[in-house]
Amino acid sequence: MNASPQYVLGYGSLAAERAGGRVATLRGWRRCWGVAMNNSVDLPGYKLYRRRDGSRPDVFVAFLDIEPDPAASVTGVLLAVEDELGLLDRRERNYERVDVSAAVADAPGRVWAYRGSEAGRRRLREGRAHGSAVVSRDYLDAATGAITAIAPDELAALAPGLSGLMVLGLRRIDLP
């Protein structure tokens, strides 16, 4: 058992999916479209995306990320994660977990955030270079809803068109 509580700062899909967290601000970071998965590769225990007609597009599906920016901040939701860090690490395979406790005012314990891994960032660069980097409409809607609820002034970072990303209606399929 840890001596102090542990939290994850959800700033995208984690903020959208998890209720009961406390709103907090991460200073010195900014939200961006920074990582992607290769939708043409099956990874056991992960996911893939299909169009509404069932076809599987050969695209790189982009997700939100954070990157250091001394002049910026990201509002998110602190979620208590005592025994869930291992599960979250597997779920967030496009990211690496970093300790951001010192950048969160009044942190109630140790605070982690997921920032893009080099492999996840490389996949997004590859998708952009080939014109095949996209955002799932459902993911965008969930993230937009979460950010609207806690920090509507930060919505501009969610505009995928500003990052050269297309939005597609995709259905997420979890793989066994």
Classify residue 51 by its DSSP letter: E
Domain 6-174 falls in which CATH fold?
Answer: Hypothetical upf0131 protein ytfp (3.10.490)
| Contact yes or no for 175/45 (Cβ under 8 A) | yes
Domain map of the chain by residue range?
Answer: 6-174
CB atoms within 10 A of CB 139: 21
**Strand-pair category, 133-136 with 166-168:** parallel
| Tens of pLDDT, residues 98-157 | 999 999 999 999 999 999 999 999 999 999 999 999 999 999 999 999 999 999 999 987
CB atoms within 10 A of CB 121: 18
| Tens of pLDDT, residues 34-61 | 999 999 999 999 999 999 999 999 999 9
| Contact yes or no for 19/122 (Cβ under 8 A) | no
Tokens representing residue 152 in the block: 């509507």
